[in-house]
Amino acid sequence: MSFARNSAWSIVQTVMTQAIAMAGNIALAKLLSPEQFGLLGMATIFTGLILVVQEVGMGSYLVYKQNTDEAFLPTVHWMNLMISVILSALLFGIAGPLSVFYHAADIRTIVTYIAIGVLLGSLGITARALNQKNMRYKNLAVIDMGSEALSGGIAIAFAVNGYPLLAITSKFLFRPALQSIFLLTGADRKQLFGRRFDVSIFAGMLKYSSSIILSQILIYASSVADFLLIGKTMGSKQLGLYAMAFNWAFLVRNAVSGAVARVVFSDLSRIQNDLPSVRTKYQALMRTLSFFLFPLCVGLSLLSHDFVMTLYGERWISSATIMQYLMIAGLLSSLGTTSGALFKSLGRPDYDLKLFSAMFPLVFVLMYAGTQYGIRGVCIAVVIENLIVLGIRSYLVVKLLVLEWKTFIFCFLPSAASAIGMGFGYGLASMAITDGVPILAVLIIKVIVLIAAYLGSSRLANKAGYDQLAALVNTFIRRNARTKDTAKAGV
Report the C-alpha gap between 337 and 254 in whole angstroms: 9
Report the C-alpha gap between 85 and 314 in whole angstroms: 43
- The confidence band for 434, taking pLDDT boundaries of 50, 70 and 90, is low
Report the C-alpha gap between 421 and 255 in whole angstroms: 25
Report the C-alpha gap between 4 and 456 in whole angstroms: 26
Do 346 and 268 meet the contact criterion of CB atoms below 8 Å apart?
yes
| pTM of the predicted model over 0.75 | no
Average pLDDT over every residue of 291-311: 90
Q: How far is CA 337 from the centre of its chain?
A: 9
Distances (CA, A) of 320 to 223, 357, 376: 20, 32, 11
pLDDT in tens, 336-367: 888 888 888 888 878 888 888 888 889 889 99
Do 212 and 86 meet the contact criterion of CB atoms below 8 Å apart?
no
pLDDT at 66: 67
Query: 482-488: which pairs have CB atoms within 8 A and are 24 or more residues apart?
Result: none
Ranges of beta strands (E only) in 143-190 are none
Q: Kindly state the DSSP code that residue 318 receives in the 8-state scheme.
A: T
Average pLDDT over every residue of 87-116: 88
pLDDT at 67: 63
pLDDT above 90 covers what percent of the chain? Answer: 19
Domain extent listing, the chain: 1-221, 224-286+293-403, 412-491
Quick one: angle between helices 125-133 and 137-160, nearest 10?
A: 140
Q: What contacts 475, CB < 8 A, 6 or more positions away? A: none
Report the C-alpha gap between 401 and 397 in whole angstroms: 6
State phi, psi for 167 to the nearest 5 degrees: -65, -50
Residue whose C-alpha is closest to residue 228's, from 215, 213, 245, 243? 243
Instruction: Assign 58 to helix, strand or coil.
Output: coil
Q: Please report the sign of the dihedral spanned by the C-alpha atoms of residue 470, residue 475, residue 480, residue 486.
A: positive
Instruction: Assign 410 to helix, strand or coil.
Output: coil
CB atoms within 10 A of CB 320: 18
Do 303 and 315 meet the contact criterion of CB atoms below 8 Å apart?
no
Report the C-alpha gap between 337 and 261 in whole angstroms: 7
Quick one: angle between helices 72-102 and 106-121, nearest 10?
A: 180
Q: What contacts 447, CB < 8 A, 6 or more positions away? A: 299, 303
Report the C-alpha gap between 323 and 302 in whole angstroms: 9
**If you write DSSP's letter for every residue of 336-364 in order, what string do you get?**
HHHHHHHHHHTT-THHHHHHHHHHHHHHH
Residue whose C-alpha is closest to residue 412's, from 479, 354, 465? 465
Question: What region does 162 belong to: left with phi over 0, alpha with psi -120 to 50, or beta?
Answer: left
Report the C-alpha gap between 301 and 331 in whole angstroms: 10
Report the C-alpha gap between 459 and 468 in whole angstroms: 11
Residue whose C-alpha is closest to residue 384's, from 359, 353, 354, 349? 359
pLDDT in tens, 192-231: 766 666 676 777 777 777 777 777 777 777 777 888 888 7
pLDDT at 24: 84
Distances (CA, A) of 119 to 163, 206, 208: 22, 21, 24
Quick one: angle between helices 170-183 and 34-56, nearest 10?
A: 40
pLDDT in tens, 374-418: 889 999 999 999 999 999 999 999 999 999 999 999 999 999 999
Residue whose C-alpha is closest to residue 171's, from 40, 275, 298? 40
Residue whose C-alpha is closest to residue 121's, from 88, 79, 159? 88
Tell me the one-letter amino acid at 470.
A
Distances (CA, A) of 365 to 95, 102, 218, 330, 358: 27, 22, 15, 20, 12
Most confident among 121-135, 222-236, 321-335 (mean pLDDT)? 321-335
pLDDT score of 162 more than 90: no
Lowest model confidence (mean pLDDT) among 254-258, 329-333, 404-408: 254-258
Q: What contacts 198, CB < 8 A, 6 or more positions away? A: 69, 71, 72, 75
- The confidence band for 141, taking pLDDT boundaries of 50, 70 and 90, is confident
